[in-house]
A = this chain, B = another copy of it.
Amino acid sequence: MFSKEIYNQRRSVLGKALYSGLLLFLGNDEMGMNCKDNTYHFRQDSSFLYYFGLDQPNLAAVMDLDEGKSIIFGDEMSVEYIVWMGAQPTIAEQAAQVGVLETQPYDELEAYLQKAASRPIHYLPPYRANHTIKLHQLLGKPLNVVSNHASVELIQAIVQQRSVKSAEEIAEMEKAVNVTGQMHIQAMRQAKAGMKEAELAGLVEGMAVASGGNLAYPVIMTVNGQTLHNHYHGNTLQSGQMVLGDYGAETGLHYAGDITRTFPVDKTFTSRQKDIYNLVLKAEVDCIEALKPDMLYRDMHLKSAKIILDGLKTLGLTKGNMDDALEAGAYGLFFPHGLGHQIGLDVHDMENLGENYVGYRNGIERSKLFGLKSLRLAKELKTGYVLTVEPGIYFIPELIDQWKVEGRFKEFINYDAVEKYKDFSGIRIEDNILITETGYRILGEPIPKTVKEVEALRAEV
């Protein structure tokens, strides 16, 4: 964990933003996979980590703003527990490490909240069902209103605070990107025709764990890059195909990396692959180089979409006026997702608090247009934000068939040419970028990205 001064300071900022009442933070619990006792790896809630740093199950915390104190609720371990799980410092010792001076047994939480029932109790929206049940029980609210009664004030204050990364957070995120970069480099070095996707997925998952952390999100490692969140790893790599790898390490302190690279199964890209690859690369690099504080990220999304439309026109896949095609959303056929999102303790940072609180604001509302509506971050960038830039071009047979039958955007899309790309799959390129006062900084050591750099690695196979 970080030093206790950091947690004290974080809580102090949050307390000043909310003024009064109680702020309730439920830590995460162990989660059964196929049985209550056979658990998934434990992942603490990110806001709990941010304000209270303690990385273990069965804890809750309250910031009592009226009393000017924080309390951690948790139970001491029995010797029997130590036999199974090992000795640990007492709850009071752990709380002291993050600057919290008062602790109480977990069961006292309910009484504490009941005594405070006349005061506002702010809590975050639950994303695990056991928290829904717990909030229902603790606060006496019906199950179906628990989520709706989450505190918008608390959400907004946390989003504002967590969006701006501090120096120690940025250092941790560089670590995450550097481990992730090594994972990508090894995958590019070891992939070869005849190998299963699962072998490469295992390689990079093992590296994330070996680094002392974990995966930040489920590995995408696929020869079918046109499926955006493809977690099937049963295919065998074949000559002529490309591998799209989208994965990231999470450090021991739970900061995420999120990097995508696409490379050929052969030592070199085909000429058709190279054309599309260089177009995606141009969209990524040009957008990164344009980043600076106060710009709308939605404008960057549109910039990348325009680059893609223009490039595809050169290749004969689109036609007509590309400004009009952009406005109409015709690029959604090739680029159906958003340009990027904030990243930090979560790979999609803070999205458990509500995607629109994180990426939108009053006046910058979510579009209903296919493609643009999937943009997770649209509002102004600020110094200290860390975000992904991840344009892609995909040829999705089912989507092409549907749009073609409907005649959608037939004035902008050359369906006859697009038909010939149905076997192409997809390409995405992604880096993690810090917004600085003067512009931007790409986090981590450079990870091979140009056709030349990627092919140089592939030549080593």
Interface string of A224-235 (1 = CB under 8 A from B): 100111111110
Q: Is A196 an interface residue (CB 8 A)?
A: yes
A141 neighbours in B (Cβ, 8 Å):
none
Q: Which of B39, B218, B346 contacts A35 (CB 8 A)?
A: B346
Q: Does B127 contact A128, Cβ atoms closer than 8 Å?
A: no
* Given A228-B83, A229-B84, A398-B87: A32 in contact with B209 (beta carbons within 8 A): no
Q: Interface code A337-361, partner B: CB below 8 Å = 1, 0 otherwise? A: 0000000011110011000000000
| Minimal Cβ-Cβ distance residue in B for A134 | B129
Among B28, B43, B396, point to the contact of A82 (Cβ < 8 A).
B396
Bound complex: CA A45 to CA B38 (Å): 12
Interface residues of A in 86-118 (CB under 8 A from B): 86-87
Interface assignment of A16: CB less than 8 Å from any CB of chain B: no
Q: Give Cα distance in the complex from A217 to B37, angstroms.
A: 10
Number of copies: 2
| B133, A217: Cβ atoms closer than 8 Å | no
Please determine whether A211 and B202 come into contact, CB atoms closer than 8 angstroms: yes
Bound: A127/B36 CA distance, A: 5
Q: Known contacts A210-B203, A212-B233: does B227 contact A84 (CB below 8 Å)? A: yes
Q: In chain A between 134 and 155, which residues have their CB closer than 8 angstroms to a CB of chain B? A: 136, 143
Interface centre among A32, A136, A228 (most CB of B within 10 A): A32
- A420-452 interface (Cβ within 8 A of B): none
Max chain B Cβ within 10 angstroms of own Cβ: one of A35, A133, A198, A204: A35
- Chain B positions within 8 Å of A231 at CB level: 41-42
Q: Which of B41, B199, B227 makes the CB contact (< 8 A) with A85?
A: B227
Find residues 186-238 in chain A having any chain B CB closer than 8 Å to their own CB. 196, 198-199, 201-212, 217-218, 224, 227-234
Considering the complex, give the chain B residue whose CB is closest to the CB of A219. Answer: B209
Q: Please tell me if A46 contacts chain B, counting CB pairs below 8 Å.
A: yes
The reply on A239 being an interface residue by CB < 8 A is: no
Q: Given A133-B143, A346-B38, does the pair A352, B32 have CB atoms closer than 8 Å?
A: yes
Chain B residues with Cβ below 8 Å from A35 are: 127, 346, 348, 351-352
A402 interface hit (Cβ, 8 Å): yes
A31 in the interface, Cβ–Cβ < 8 Å? Answer: yes
Question: Which residues of chain A from 34 to 77 have a CB within 8 Å of any chain B CB?
Answer: 34-43, 45-46
* CB < 8 Å neighbour of A210 from B41, B86, B201: B201
Question: In this assembly, does A336 line the interface, its C-beta being within 8 Å of a C-beta of chain B?
Answer: yes
Across the two chains, which residue of chain B brings its CB closest to A350? B35
Is A167's beta carbon under 8 Å from chain B?
A: no
| CB <8 Å contact, B46 and A336 | no
Closest to A29 in B: B129
**Could you tell me the distance in whole angstroms from the C-beta of A228 to the nearest C-beta in chain B?**
5
Nearest CB in chain B to that of A197: its residue: B212
The reply to whether the CB of A367 lies closer than 8 angstroms to some CB of chain B is no
A440–chain B nearest beta-carbon distance, Å: 25
Instruction: Please tell me if A132 contacts chain B, counting CB pairs below 8 Å.
Output: yes
Chain B residues contacting A80 (CB-CB under 8 Å) are 370
| A206-B205, A210-B201 known; A351-B37 Cβ under 8 A | yes
Q: Are B218 and A208 in contact, with the CB atoms below 8 A?
A: no
Q: Could you write out 30 A-B pairs with CB less than 8 Å apart? A: A33-B43, A34-B127, A34-B345, A34-B346, A35-B127, A36-B127, A36-B352, A37-B348, A38-B217, A79-B398, A79-B399, A80-B370, A83-B227, A83-B336, A83-B396, A83-B399, A85-B229, A86-B224, A86-B230, A87-B398, A129-B132, A132-B133, A133-B133, A198-B210, A198-B211, A202-B205, A202-B208, A205-B206, A209-B233, A212-B233
**Known A84-B229, A86-B227, A202-B210; further 7 A-B contacts with Cβ < 8 A:** A35-B351, A85-B228, A86-B224, A143-B143, A202-B208, A205-B206, A206-B206
Interface positions of A (Cβ within 8 A of B):
28, 31-43, 45-46, 79-80, 82-87, 127-130, 132-133, 136, 143, 196, 198-199, 201-212, 217-218, 224, 227-234, 252, 336, 345-348, 351-352, 370, 396, 398-399, 402
Nearest 10 A/B pairs, CB to CB: A206-B206, A202-B210, A202-B209, A129-B130, A129-B129, A86-B227, A35-B352, A202-B206, A36-B127, A199-B210
